Structure 1
């Protein structure tokens, strides 16, 4: 296929050829009517009308040179048309094409009031250049607050760090003390047991003494009744027996007290062992609790550090920088304007990465593939550039439009679709810096 205007151009050339042939024929007819066969004018013909009436008029033969010129002209036009068709069928072109490029919209990342705008429309900007300033005072205060919270969290973390070793040492001391208490209680039980056994020995000894004293009383009583022994001696024996009986009772009471002390010592031993078990069981838990507190303090410090970093980021966002180099296509921000996060303030057009979006008819891309060379005519510059087909389209323009066609319903009329082909400019050409997105171009792709 050829250019969109090829059918119209061919028809126009044919009409021109027809008009030229018609004009030549009319000139020949005029020349025939203006002269006789012998080349005399019409006035002389009237004067010699008598002679001519006597001789029959012969038709004038066309000049052989004119005939040759006409045939040669037709052949030249036919050969030229054939050569033009043979040449034109190797190219596909369209005038439905524009220069395309990346357009970056700069938007505010934080809310604030615009206090300065450093660029104007159609001004060149470099990547990283500050173009808009927002009022930073609120974010400076947020940074100071976040920094104070971080210092407080770090201080609490430092204060909590020694608690783990302190708790570990305390737990070890408590375990040792519990062991000492157990040993002391065991010694107390052993001492009380010995005291009890000694009290039992004293009871048995007192009982033996009391039994002897009672036997003395029983032995002296008949003698005293017969006055064979002095009454004072008998009374002494009775008193000794009474004293021995009292000693028995006292020793028995002491043994009972010693037994209670044994029971009390055993109870203290059981309590000491229970306490030691609780201390041994609670020591790891107390250490774990302190370690959890330390981790909690560390987490709080980390969160405060993240809040400080976010506050610093928000403060840095008060200076809006352009991420790419290009030309400011539209300026939206004005001094005193309040902007919200995501609100566009500038529109920057990149000039270092331009291409052509050419919308060819679907019948034109039959032999078109990526990599084929192209010639691009830019209307605004009246200049041609070299390029190549970078990629073929993924879908037609109607499919990717906002409202794609729905051919499954209603009447269907077949329409030739257009598909956007991307054509890339070759680097190193003069005039590439003058190209702008949106310029109309006419690309011609060599498909064979």
Structure 2
């Protein structure tokens, strides 16, 4: 029985020894397969990552730092902000004493009112001058016609006076002949003394009539000359009216235009004074954090003097310096996942906007000169701009700051 038991035990030990190597082989095979699968997955992940995406740890958040400066001179009378204070766009920062600029504005407004009144007067005179010149032209034309009619009338009257002179001379000649015939007859008492005296009186009257007719003729001839002078004067006046009338209108129009230019100049001075007055109240151009504040109450500011810097919280982007070997498949519009180190690896979404025009070393203050015998090829880096696509929703707590280190991953396929 003991021998049989030993034989059975020996058979069991042999069976166990046969089972143990099989289990060990199976376990070893499983481990090998698992390691191979893991290596394949790692290789596949590396291949996928290197083929379908590109990343770099040489990247940071960028933003426009706004230097708030004074646009006018003056003394600060109030400051509203402190360092590291968050301000909204349009929030007050400081006030400059506005009294001088208020006075300048009132003076400019007074000058504008005076210029507008002068322009109104000059502009009203334009149609008045136009009507007046037309009236002068019409009146001078009528004067010419009247002078011409007066000459014609004077000439007719002179002709009538000349005819009366001829008639008076004829009567005088007849009466003189009558006296000459009556003289011997009265001496011989053929005719009465009374008839002779009547003939002598008639002759004297006719002689006087000749003189009167000649004087009237001279007067009528003088009237003709005077009418000629008036016609010449009327024609000269009419010519001047036709020539000077439009010129006077243009002169008045030019004066109105000059006054209008002065109105515009005065309006520009009012606008400038209004702007200067508004510059006395300095406000934040964007929403951000106040930094480098160096303005205090009582300080006398000059134009362009820096007051503080505002670090923006919304208008941000990422500048990533990728190696030149990573840019083969990179282009604008590709989606980017941005991991921020300072926020515990918090991720943001973005897209490639621009690929830089030159390498960082080429844009440095002292670019490298490779025309030497000991040249060593170095992989260069190109700055790539990445814009956030949904910053307001992903950064609702305004946690991002310019200068944060990030790791962007660009999906190149």
Range class of TM-score, shorter chain: 0.7 to 0.9
**In structure 2, what is the equivalent of residue 440 of structure 1?**
405
- Where do 1:370-389 residues align within 5 Å? 370=332, 372=334, 374-389=336-351
| Offset at residue 172 of structure 1 (A) | 4.2
CA distance in 1, matches of 2:374, 2:384: 30
Aligned partners of 1:91 and 1:445 also within 8 Å: no
User: Which of 84, 88, 106 does residue 42 from structure 2 map onto?
Assistant: 84
1:33-432 equivalences under 5 Å are 80=38, 83-91=41-49, 93-224=55-186, 226=188, 228-229=190-191, 234=196, 237-238=199-200, 240-370=202-332, 372=334, 374-395=336-357, 396-407=359-370, 412-425=375-388, 427=390, 428-429=393-394
Structure 2 contact 331–355 (Cα < 8 Å) conserved = no
Moved over 6 A (4+): 63-79
Residues 282 and 239 (structure 1), Cα distance of their counterparts in 2 relative to 1, 3 Å cut = same
- Say if 2:351 and 2:389, in contact at 8 Å, map to a contact too: no
Alpha-carbon distance in structure 1 between the residues aligned to 2:370 and 2:381: 16
8 Å CA contact 1:104, 1:347 repeated in 2: yes
Shifted more, 243-252 versus 201-210: the winner is 243-252
Q: Secondary structure at the match of 2:118?
A: helix
* CA displacement at 1:83 relative to structure 2: 4.1
Q: How many residues were matched structurally?
A: 386
Change (3 A) 1:403 1:338: farther
Higher relative contact order (CA 8 A, sep 6+): 2
- Quick one: distance in 1 between partners of 2:412 and 2:148? 108
Report if aligned partners of 2:317, 2:388 keep a CA contact under 8 Å in 1.
Answer: yes
Alpha-carbon deviations, 1:311-349, whole Å to 9, x = none?
Answer: 111101111111211112332323333333333322112
Q: Deviations over 1:246-299 (max 9, x none)?
A: 432442233233212212112212222321332233333323322332332233
User: Which segments of 5 or more consecutive residues in structure 2 lack a partner in the other structure?
Assistant: 1-20
Which segment is superposed worse, 270-279 or 65-74?
A: 65-74
CA–CA separation in structure 2 for the residues paired with 1:385 and 1:363? 25
Check conservation: 2:112, 2:267, Cα contact below 8 A: yes
What is the Cα deviation at residue 207 of structure 1? Answer: 1.4
Which structure has the bigger radius of gyration? 1
Structure 1 vs Structure 2 CA RMSD: 3.4
C-alpha distance in 2, partners of 1:332/1:311?
A: 27
| Aligned partners of 1:377 and 1:441 also within 8 Å | yes
- Note the alpha carbon deviations across 1:148-174, whole angstroms, 9 max, x for none: 111111222333343234323433443
Stretches of structure 1 that go unaligned for 5 or more consecutive residues are 1-62
What is the TM-score with the length of structure 1 in the denominator? Answer: 0.74
